[in-house]
DNA sequence: GTCTATAGCGTGATAGAC
DNA sequence: GTCTATCACGCTATAGAC
């Protein structure tokens, strides 16, 4: 049996023409998703979730087994959203290198951090409920970028002596590290500056 | 008057032939430094600090005004240590590009994260006590890397159309992002893989 | 300089009425 | 499905004896 309750909110549209986004459960999820981005998992107290969602104490523990369960469900939705966004950037409607550029040029909120990457430092991600969505997203991103870079080599756009997987990880890291620099310097622009550095390097490895 | 109490432990050797590293205050600092690396600031409770250091409750609040003060002092020491390590890698005893390679090739503990970068996601770094040492380190690193890359361009090692500051931020980001990937994947090797990607890109931007 | 006792507060969850 | 009351616990800090 396929329990509709466990389908991420962002996927409802695939199954229902009128997605119910204003149920108490959904409001709890939206509150959790925004708090995970703003303050992370450990600092996201039930109190804050209830304040932001407008839900009552009873509702949280009725719809979810607890904080970890709510966060895990929220992370599943975030995973879907980020994965869709990544796949859109890498859509094969332009040349492989052009897709990579589109990915690097994405708008990013440096001062807030990556919605998944920022949770990576917390001790609590040792728990599979929290770790799995994060690990799956990065694993998918690595795979898709590697494949796109491999295509770029095959098509003669990129120097053939470059290891596509190493470069894929390097590019993913630049994005994640750009967030770190942004927060360290208290200046969201560092995410953009770092991406620009990556674009320049990529350019010099590109065969004209 | 220059208060010796505020000289980072790692600098004692410069002033005294027999550095006192076993005082209760120093034990508290060492415990805080290791905990900041392992669990971060917010999860570093006074209880854990006292357990690890062997000090008693009274000592903590005698030597420091509280948790924030202790952490701030510990961060000052970490800042000095990381800065020294960076400067050693960039020592001008080899060619500029070779110095950059030495920096990228440093041994790193991917599964633990950067001792300063990992604190970047916590809400508490809004406080200057915690933010300043982190911001100073990254600012210094950006400056030193930029200068080294500029030298590489001047000496004809690096393509002149590359913006040294953008690239400096890109390289710093790759290191920081490598830590993020390592923790996301639960595999410390990603820090090395990302650095390898950076080295390859740098190679292709280097004039042979 | 270190000890013990204690305090106020927030967290994360449970119980049971409605 | 939501409400209020309540709980045990850990956090961070203070007080005052020694």
Residue A112, token pair as written in the block: 């807030």
D11 C1': nearest CA residue: B45
Task: Judge whether residue A41 has pLDDT over 90.
Answer: yes
Does residue B63 reach within 7 angstroms of strand C, measured from its CB? yes
pLDDT tens-place string over residues A168-184? 999 999 999 999 999 99
Distance, Å, A126 CA → C18 C1': 40
Q: Beta carbon of B143 within 7 Å of strand C?
A: no
Confidence of residue A138 (pLDDT cuts 50, 70, 90): very high
Half-sphere exposure of A54 (CA within 13 A, CB side): 6
Say yes or no to pLDDT of A19 above 70.
no
**Predicted local confidence at residue B191, as pLDDT:** 98
Q: Which of A139, A194, A204 is facing B185, going by the closest CB pair?
A: A139
In this prediction, residue B20 carries a pLDDT of 65
| Cross-strand bridge partners of residue A206 | A158
Q: Which residue of B has its CA nearest to A124?
A: B39
Check residue B38 and give its pLDDT: 97
Nearest nucleotide, CA A65 to C1': C13
CB-CB contact of B197 with B178 (8 Å): no
- Integer-rounded Cα radius of gyration of chain B: 19
* Length B60 CA → D5 C1' (Å): 38
Q: Is B128 exposed, middle or buried (0-12, 13-18, 19+ CB in 10 A)?
A: exposed
The encoded tokens of residue A83 equal 């994965």
pLDDT at A20: 64
Which letter does DSSP use for residue B19 in this model?
-
In whole angstroms, what is the distance from residue B122 CA to residue B36 CA?
Answer: 12
Gap between the Cα atoms of B194 and B196, Å rounded: 5
Measure the CA–CA gap between B57 and B62, rounded to whole angstroms. 9
Report the pLDDT value the prediction gives residue B18, as an integer from 0 to 100. 52
Check pLDDT > 50 for residue A144: yes
* A58 in contact with nucleic chain C (CB within 7 A): yes
What is the reported pTM?
0.92
Distances (CA, A) of B51 to A110, B20, B39, B90, B171: 37, 21, 15, 38, 38
Residue B22 is predicted with a pLDDT of: 77
Is-contact A140 A83, C-beta < 8 A?
yes
Q: List Cβ neighbours of B126 (8 Å cut-off, separation of 6 or more).
A: none
Calculate how close chain A gets to B50, using CA atoms only, in Å: 20
Mean pLDDT value across residues A156-179: 97
| DSSP states along B31-88 | HHHHHHHHH-STT--HHHHHHHH---HHHHHHHSSSHHHHHHHHHHHHHHHHHHHHHH
Amino acid A5: pLDDT? 45
Strand D footprint nucleotides (protein C-beta < 7 Å):
1-5, 10-17
Instruction: Quote the minimal CA–CA distance from A15 to chain B in Å.
Output: 31
Rounded-to-integer distance, Cα A49 and Cα A36, Å: 10
Check residue B19 and give its pLDDT.
Answer: 60
The residues, any chain, with a CB within 8 Å of residue A150's CB and separated by 6 or more, are A164
Q: Mean pLDDT in chain A? A: 92
Calculate how close chain A gets to B31, using CA atoms only, in Å. Answer: 18
Distance in angstroms (rounded) separating the CA atoms of residues A171 and A202: 9
Query: Distance in angstroms, CA of A49 to C1' of D5?
Result: 20
pLDDT digits (tens, 9 = 90+) for A47-101: 999 999 999 999 999 999 999 999 999 999 999 999 999 999 999 999 999 999 9
C-alpha span between B160 and A86 (Å, rounded): 32
Cα nearest neighbour of B185 on chain A: A135
CATH architecture group of domain A12-101+108-204: Orthogonal Bundle (1.10)
Boundaries of every domain in chain A = 12-101+108-204
Cβ–Cβ under 8 Å, residues B173 and A192: no
Residue A158 has pLDDT above 90, yes or no: yes
Nucleotide nearest to A44 (CA to C1'): C11
Inspect the interface and report whether the beta carbons of B201 and A205 lie closer than 8 Å. yes
**Average pLDDT of each block of 10 consecutive residues along chain B (208 residues)?**
45 51 93 98 98 98 98 98 98 98 97 97 96 98 98 97 96 98 98 95 89
Average pLDDT value for residue range A101-130: 97
pLDDT at position A2, please?
Answer: 41
Residues of A in contact with B170 (CB under 8 A): 174, 193-198, 200-201
């Amino acid at each position: 049996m396929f329990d509709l309750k466990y389908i991420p909110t962002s996927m409802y549209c695939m199954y229902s023409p009128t997605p119910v986004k204003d149920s108490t459960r959904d409001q709890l999820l939206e509150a959790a998703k925004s708090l995970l981005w703003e303050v992370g998992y450990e600092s996201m107290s039930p109190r804050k979730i209830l304040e932001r969602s407008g839900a009552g104490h009873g509702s949280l523990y009725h719809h979810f087994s607890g904080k970890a369960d709510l966060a895990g469900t929220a992370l599943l939705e975030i995973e879907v959203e980020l994965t869709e966004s990544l796949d859109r950037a890498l859509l094969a409607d332009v040349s492989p290198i052009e897709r990579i550029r589109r990915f690097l040029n994405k708008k990013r909120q440096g001062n807030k951090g990556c919605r998944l990457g920022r949770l990576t430092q917390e001790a609590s991600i040792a728990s599979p409920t929290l770790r799995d969505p994060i690990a799956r997203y990065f694993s998918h991103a690595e795979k898709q970028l590697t494949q796109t870079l491999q295509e770029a080599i095959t098509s003669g756009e990129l120097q053939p002596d470059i290891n596509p997987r190493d470069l894929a990880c390097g590019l993913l890291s630049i994005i994640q590290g750009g967030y770190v620099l942004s927060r360290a310097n208290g200046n969201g622009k560092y995410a953009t500056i770092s991406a620009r550095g990556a674009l320049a390097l990529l350019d010099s490895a590109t065969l004209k």
